[in-house]
Each structure stands twice: as structure tokens, then as C-alpha cells.
Amino acid sequence: MKTKNARRFEGALGEKLPQTEVLNKNSADFSFCAPAKMFDKMQRENLNAVKSVAKAKKAITAAAELTAETYLNGNKIIFAGAGTSGRLGVLEAAECPPTFSVGYDVFDTLMAGGKSAVFKAVEGAEDDFNLGARDFKKKAKSGDILIAIAASGRTPYALGALRAAKERGNKTVFVSCSDTADTSNADIFVYLPTGAEVISGSTRLKAATATKCALNMITTMAMALSGKVYKNLMVDVKASNVKLKDRAARLIAKAAGIEKEEAVALAQKTRYNVKAAIVMAKLKVGFGKAQALLKESGGFLDKIINE
């Protein structure tokens, strides 16, 4: 039962609290639980967070298609957010280039408070609507897409970036875990109904888990739609270390149906250009011809190799 003070407090935050801020009745006794019980409660909520992503299928699919279109047109994908949401954008932007062999300028980020805020909170930065707008205007060009992230749906920095993007005619995606989110400047709203957190308001938990899943889906699907994946193979991997060079050789062997030794030789000959090595092995052509075929197909292996 709510007390008079509780009602006054909730009203002070707005007509309706974001779902990420309400109290979770399933974990009300969390601090009194033994570790094994704490684990059970968190695991149950984690599973619910992942399940919530399924409800955003249509929006995530649309966001992936729009992201692929943006990339294929030679434009950038920009993530924007604050706190945990911003860090998830940074993580996504950092991991896509080596996975899909795209330039580090293709996936970019706007982090409230700047680079230092990735490691340490910058007080007040997320509350600056105009800062979000200014940061977007400095970073973005016509044709770029903005993927704003705000678990609560009301972070001023993210909303400022969205407003600026919309006003300039850029396509916008808004990822949030709250049905109270301001979606007025979002072309696509990815709503992840994760509900109340195990620890009230701690969106680094369920909201972050679901958001990470959604961002993984958007970028992975977009890169697959852009020819960066063949079947389920990471054929555009950037072989920048020993582990990835070994993976490149295994990918070549798997996709081309050849022995590992031959794959290693082809990998070295092509300077670990996995796609070119596969074309060479499958079509029995030289490196130059393989590169020409890939250029002609826009990098899509399945347009060259019909299986």
C-alpha cells in the first residue's frame, strides 16, 4: 500500500515513473537472501530481460535494415547515450570494425561527458539536452544514422541528440526500456520491456542486458545484409593478431572445403583477405581476379559463389 509521502515522491518525478525506476516486488528481500538465493533471483530476471527483446522484433529488424542502407550508402552509424547506455554504444562501435573489417570511422559514438565518462561518471553531463544536440551536429553529416540509447527514455543528452538529428533530416533509432520514453524524434522506437530492476533503478542490470542484445542484433544483421557475413561465417574479419589469423585460415578452409594447410597458404598469399582466398579456392582463379569479382559483387560472396 502506498503512503501519502510515497505518492508525493512519485508525483515529483513525473506523472508516471519509467519502468526501470519502479520497485521490483520479486527482489524486495534481496539483501536478506543467501548468495544462492540472490543468484536465483538475478538469473530469473536476466532471463526475463532477454525474453523482452523478442517483443521488439519488428523494430529491431527495421533498425537493422536502415543501418545496412546507411552503411551501403557510405555513411556513418552514430550511437549516443549517457552512463551505461552510452558505454554500450561505445562497446558496439569498438567491436564492429575488427569483426566486420570496416573503418573505425564507420561506427561512431556520442558519450555524454566525452571519452573520460566511459571510465568515470561525469556529473551532470547526461542532463544537458543542448550538449547532446551540439555533439551530434559536430559529429554527423547528411545521410548518417543516429541510434540513441536511454534505458529510462528520458535522458536529456540522448533526447537532445535525437532532436538535432531529426531537425537535420538524419534517420533516427531510439532504444529504450521504458514505455514513457519521448519518441517524438525517433523514426524507429526499439522498446525493450524489461520491467523493474533487481536493484531498483540500476539499469546496468536487466536494461543493459536487453540493450546489448538489441544492439548486437542491429549491427550483426546490418553487416550481414551488407555482405560482411557468408552463411554464418565472419568472412570480413580483420586478422590483426595470431588468434584472428588462425580463425581466418579456418574460415577459408570451412567455406572453400579445403584442408587447413592449403587455407593457411591462401591466407598468407592474400594477406588474410578471407573473401578473396575463398573465391580463389572455389573458382580456381588468381588473387587479382578474385578481387575484381568481389568489387563487382559489392563484396557479397553469395553473388559469386552459388551454393
Query: Which residues carry out catalysis?
Result: 95, 126
Closest CA to 229 of 80, 111, 99, 107: 99
Question: Are residues 249 and 235 in contact, defined by beta-carbon separation less than 8 angstroms?
Answer: no
| Residue 188: strand pairing partners | 173
Contact 264, 221 (CB under 8 A): no
Give the H or E element holding residue 65: helix 57-72
Please state the length of the chain: 307
Closest CA to 277 of 243, 306, 307, 245: 245
Cell digits of residue 21: 525506476
